[in-house]
Structure 1
């Protein structure tokens, strides 16, 4: 039993360690962000709200059915709802009814509300897609920033390893009297400076990882890490296209323009909805109602005398014949209320009809609403024009940035190649004593800087290339790093 528990604990510890040591790929980071980012969730709520608005617009076509019921007690001089007689009493009255309302014509308002709801849903979808694209770029940029700092640390450590090996060789040459002790001190100082640079670079890695974790809403900063991988510059012909070609394609593909165009269409539809209030409206109604009372009822009665059922009430003047009638007496008596169901059947009724509403004067409300929405149309059109201008500016900027990044990357490659040759030459001279340790350290320092700059230039070029591809209409999930 103890052995089984021990094995189970070891498995649990192993699983926990594996979960904590998980390293995230770029795709995993993007997918996690799309599922958990707050801004995306808010855009998804906006889309759900637009679905509800569409359901409301559909519901406007349906008739309305409402039922009502009330049960009340009255004390004092009140009218019996069944007999209509005023009585000083405590009564209980029950009433119920069902009303059906049908909107026959309301100036095409229902149709236009439905059309607007469908347009608003499309606009919400565009906003969600744009938000997802933005989050993908944010995550990719933060991910590449981590890679830049990690590769910088790698280069610095490799250079420091060379320095430590050089320190050992110099130590042997100093001990043998072949080199002055100053060369050893120079290399020692270089080693200390490189160690400091490594510490700073490692801190930059941690900061970049924290920034990425915060973007993903992950609070376990200590155990968060990404896969140690290197990306090559992707093959792309996007820079072979002209800015004008990219702009024209972006106008058809980018969600910024689609959102602005949707806002113009929504504003125009709001004008049509406001103008619907100029037209008359026709509605129909049907009502069924009934009532019941718990008060006692008063009833008039007639009684015939059984011993003398008839009586003479007069004579015919012409013939002298007696006029005979029933011998009865009448009065009023109080009876208990009729049964509940019987009263409902006896007291029910219906009403139905049509209602025409013609707007004549409503304090300029409709007119001002139309004018206000026409102003919103102009505002939306200006925003659309501004969105197109911003898109052109952003595409040109992205195009120039990508070109500059490409040239910077090529220059960095040439610089590394040149600095590597210079370093190899300096090392050969240092090994045979033709140069001192200071000059050799400077040569290695320049090589290290060139390699770090190459790393930054490469990932900067990759990111700006992908931004330009995104403007051209390549979906983020289709962009391969």
Structure 2
């Protein structure tokens, strides 16, 4: 009985320990978040499977040189059904015995090299696609991480603003009780406090929603407690537009365009060689018959065998006819190649346009941030002056509240401008497939 109690106690303590571990908050930095996403993100795991399959195709490409081998085993017999003549019955009734056979067939054509090349090209495409998927996940994780940092600062500013408003309300209440303030000033101060709470609640809801998306990217349970630790980067764009454009040709998008074009050209060459050029066919068969009771030869009744071979050359002719299915199929591939080239040119122009737009956006954000920092210094000075006048009885509480709100608005603007600038840098670095530090 005591043993049973000990088991229950041990089970209870284990559950408590597990609950404590699950409830513990996980604090992650940006490098840790990216590493977790690389290991746990479902989309990356799916891309990794595609890459593994392409690697397997390359490693086993030699199997195209394996011949087709088939083994057969059969038994047959015959019997007269409606004929009563015993002589005819004797000549036709019987078991034809057991037949076994082995056939080997191998075809050689000039397209074998293109078949091998197709596996290598497909592997290269999957490699670039996998690297692009990693880069996309890293970008999404980084942007969400920066958002959570900025929103954390915003929540702290709002809480600080509410605490300051409550302090102002407390002062107004004391002055009212002492006869130095009117009731409308007290009510106004109380209203200012209450008007700030919905905005805080809305920001908290937005933070929780983005935090859930962050957990999904990292592959963490939705119920896990996660906090981010770090700072928004202070990197500024220092590279010119012309220098940034030089990275376009090395982006994943352009690499995929180039590899897809090579794969399509290889596919076209392969089809030409298969459908328009001769191929050599090698065939060999071996047959073995056992226990054939329908023959009069005693030796053949027990055993007989045969071996045959065939060497043939197949020359396709219909593919050379204008308008044939082969010619139409090749024409479609040429059309797709032309469309792919147009898409490549369009993608390049779109990347150039995106670079110019993003550089202009970054410059605009930088200018706005400089103005906001100057406004913050001015707003803080105005607030301190009004606060001093209010404490001396030269101005009312509403003026102080307005000045306080101006300071908060500018602080909040700086936080969001800093986040938008960092986010725009991440997008630009992703489009060009370079590090933020290289910008």
Question: How does the TM-score come out when normalised to structure 1?
Answer: 0.80
How far, CA to CA, are the matches of 1:7 and 1:281 in structure 2? 75
SS of the residue corresponding to residue 334 of structure 2 reads helix
Question: Size of the alignment, in residue pairs?
Answer: 424
Partner of 1:118: 120
Alignment partners' CA distance in 2, 1:180 and 1:191: 18
Q: Does 1:347 pair with 2:304?
A: yes
How far apart in 2 are the matches of 1:297 and 1:100? 29
Aligned-residue RMSD, C-alpha: 2.9
For 2:78 and 2:225, the matched residues in 1 are separated by 74
Match of 1:166 in 2: 168
Q: 1:456 to 1:75 in 2, by over 3 A?
A: farther
8 Å contact kept, 1:402–1:468: no
1:312-358 CA distance string (max 9 Å, x none): xxxxxxxxxxxxxxxxxxxxxxx7995xxxx3xx4112112311111
In structure 2, distance between residues paired with 1:86 and 1:217 = 79
Q: Matches of 1:368 and 1:434 in 2, distance apart?
A: 91
SS of alignment partner, residue 246 of structure 2:
helix
Aligned to 1:27: 31
Q: Output the CA distance in 2 between the equivalents of 1:264 and 1:86.
A: 71
- Does the 8 Å CA contact 2:101/2:287 hold for their aligned counterparts? yes
Query: Match for residue 158 of structure 2?
Result: 156
2:94 and 2:370 map into 1 onto residues whose CA distance is: 100
Native 8 Å contact 2:22 2:224 kept in 1 = no
- In 2, distance between residues paired with 1:410 and 1:72? 95
CA distance in 2 between partners of 1:405 and 1:378 (Å): 40
Q: Which residue of 2 aligns with 1:316?
A: none
Which of the pair is proportionally richer in helix? 2
Assess, with a 3 A threshold, how the Cα gap between structure 1 residues 14 and 367 changes in structure 2: closer, same or farther.
same
Q: Secondary structure at the match of 1:348?
A: strand
Aligned to 1:408: 368
Residue 259 (structure 1) aligned with residue 256 (structure 2): yes
Indicate the SS of the match to 1:295: coil
- Structure 1 residues 3, 429: CA separation in 2 closer, same or farther (over 3 Å shift)? farther
Structure 2 unaligned segments of length 5 or more: list them: 82-88
CA displacement at 1:21 relative to structure 2 = 2.9
Q: Are 1:260 and 1:387, in contact at CA under 8 Å, matched by a contact in 2?
A: no
Q: Which residue of 1 aligns with 2:313?
A: 356
Structure 1 runs not aligned, ≥5 long: 78-84, 300-334
Shift of residue 63 of structure 1?
2.9
Corresponding residue of 1:80: none
Work out whether residues 72 and 93 of structure 1, in 8 Å CA contact, stay in contact via their aligned partners in 2: yes
Flag the 1:97–1:267 CA change in 2: closer, same or farther, 3 A.
same
Report matched runs for 1:301-380 at 5 Å: 343=302, 346-362=303-319, 364-380=324-340
Distance 1:232 1:377, change over 3 A: closer
Instruction: Give the greater-gyration-radius structure (CA).
Output: 1
Q: SS of the counterpart of 1:468?
A: helix
CA distance in 1, matches of 2:214, 2:78: 72
- Match 2:21 to one of 18, 22, 41: 18
Shift of 1:143: 2.6
Shift of 1:445: 1.1
Counterpart-to-counterpart distance in 2, 1:230 and 1:421: 30
2:103 touches 2:286 (CA, 8 Å); kept in 1? yes
Q: Deviations over 1:24-66 (max 9, x none)?
A: 5233443333334443334333323433543564322233333
Q: Which residue of 2 aligns with 1:225?
A: 226
- Return the alpha-carbon distance in structure 2 between the equivalents of residues 336 and 358 of structure 1: 43
TM-score, normalised by the number of residues in structure 2? 0.87
Aligned to 2:138: 136
d(CA) in 2 for partners of 1:34, 1:92: 66
- 1:281 equivalent to 2:279? Answer yes
SS of residue in 2 equivalent to 1:352 = strand
Higher strand share goes to which structure?
Answer: 1
Question: 2: CA distance between counterparts of 1:337 and 1:350?
Answer: 16
